Amino acid sequence: MKTTLHTFFIFSICLFFINTLYAAPKVIPAAPKILAKSYILIDYDSGKIIAHNNADMPVAPASITKVMTAYVVFSELEEGNISLKDMVTVSKKAWKTPGSRMFINVNTSVSIEDLLQGMIIQSGNDASVALAEHIAGGEDTFAALMNQHAQDLGMTNTHFMNSTGLPNSNHKTSARDLAILAKALIKHFPQYYKWYSTKEFTYNDIKQPNRNQLLWRDKSVDGMKTGYTDDAGYCLLSSAKREDMRLISVVLGTASTHARAQESQKLLNFGFRFYESHIVYPAHKVLKNIRVYKGSEEQVSVGIAKNLTILIPRGQYKNLKPSININSSLIAPITKGQPLGKVEIKLDDKLLNSSPLIALKAVDEGSLWQQAKDSVLMMME
């Protein structure tokens, strides 16, 4: 009996500590103090901001610029204008570009795939210029492409002057804009995003490590890009995924390579510890079948066009209150994609997110008999 009670006591103590360790926080504390000129932390799925400071302040992005350079190249690959196997002749300008390099030689031919890895992993300025010249004929024209993509993505505080991030007084972006860019690249080009987690790359018998220290410190981190100039300070755009949640962190203008990694890690740990994100309703899933009057069918399936995602304090998922609201009685004809109402997700009476409710299929007008019968039914209701 004593042994049984002793075992039960030990088990209860262990259970208490386990529950304490993993219990959902009752209060969300303020974000940790981040020693940087500007920063932002967002949830990838919902796009919601978890923490920020001076997120819209235009600043020099240094080599984080190359994320947009890569985005332009990936777009050209996607459109079939170029291929990874295409060979690029290295110009004297590309070869002489100062700063970090992958050490390509003038007048040699290098594949686009190698140049991309040299730019992404080794942060090669020479590779960036070579890619820009191959795609647009010159770096100025390529910068115009970069700015067009930035405008299309809604990067309102951004203007690029070159493909490298080398200092230029008119070359600016912001922490929020870089988070927007990172989210778009991960979403649209997952087949190429894998290169951002590569720890080292060898070209011309020269092996160079990825400068993102978090790739070695945190196994959940799988990208993205470092940057440094005297004007910009030490910068880091990072992304990490733990279980089904991905976060994007941008830290700009820290004092050292150690500081940019440390401050980024603080932000990521805070976000994962105190928040969780969920796709509450996936796109195009039937959420409900609604009565349709005067139609060839009596019901229409309704859903949403895009995933409905939310960011909530950890442990609050069970307290969510979803609701489906239909505009009014539905009368055929109904077209596919027609807005019919709204889906809302609330927590403690606070609206977290909403989405238009649409018809997932079309419903044509019914026969004259069906229309007459439904007219009577509608008058009786």
Q: What is the pLDDT of residues 232-243, one digit of tens each?
A: 999 999 999 999
H helix intervals, 199-302: 214-217, 257-274
Contact yes or no for 249/260 (Cβ under 8 A): no
- Considering the chain, tell me which residue range(s) the CATH 3.40.710.10 domain(s) occupy: 38-274
Q: Please pick, among 63, 163, 249, 277, the residue that the annotation labels catalytic.
A: 63
Which helix (H) or strand (E) segment holds residue 49: the answer is strand 49-53
Q: Please pick, among 38, 46, 100, 123, the residue that the annotation labels catalytic.
A: 123
Contact yes or no for 182/237 (Cβ under 8 A): yes
Could you confirm whether domain 38-274 is CATH 3.40.1210.10? no
More confident residue, 295 or 261: 261
Annotated catalytic, 66?
yes
What was the pLDDT predicted at 26?
55
Cα(109)–Cα(64) distance, integer angstroms: 26
Contact yes or no for 157/183 (Cβ under 8 A): no
Cα(123)–Cα(92) distance, integer angstroms: 19
Beta strands of 133-244 (E only): which ranges? 200-203, 206-209, 221-229, 233-242
pLDDT in tens, 128-162: 999 999 999 999 999 999 999 999 999 999 999 99
Please enumerate in sequence order all residues whose Cβ is within 8 A of that of 1, keeping only pairs 6 or more positions apart, or say none: none
Can you give the three-state secondary structure of 76-139, one letter per residue? HHHCCCCCCCCEEECCHHHHHCCCCCCCCCCCCEEEHHHHHHHHHCCCCHHHHHHHHHHHHCCH
More confident residue, 357 or 8: 357
SS3 159: strand
Contact yes or no for 359/299 (Cβ under 8 A): no
pLDDT in tens, 73-94: 999 999 999 999 999 999 999 9
Nearest to 177 by CA among 68, 98, 302, 82: 68
pLDDT in tens, 280-294: 999 999 999 999 888
Task: Kindly compute the dihedral angle of the four CA atoms of residues 162, 165, 170, 175, in this order, to the nearest 10 degrees.
Answer: 130
Pairing of strands 299-303, 245-254: unpaired
- The token pair that represents 104 in the structure block: 């390509």
Q: Please pick, among 37, 38, 46, 66, the residue that the annotation labels catalytic.
A: 66
Fold type of domain 282-380: Peptidoglycan synthesis regulatory factor (PBP3), Domain 2 (2.60.410)
Predicted confidence (pLDDT) at residue 330 exceeds the cutoff of 90: no
Alpha-carbon 254 to chain mean position: 23
Cα(237)–Cα(224) distance, integer angstroms: 6
Predicted confidence (pLDDT) at residue 374 exceeds the cutoff of 90: no
- Considering the chain, tell me which residue range(s) the CATH 2.60.410.10 domain(s) occupy: 282-380
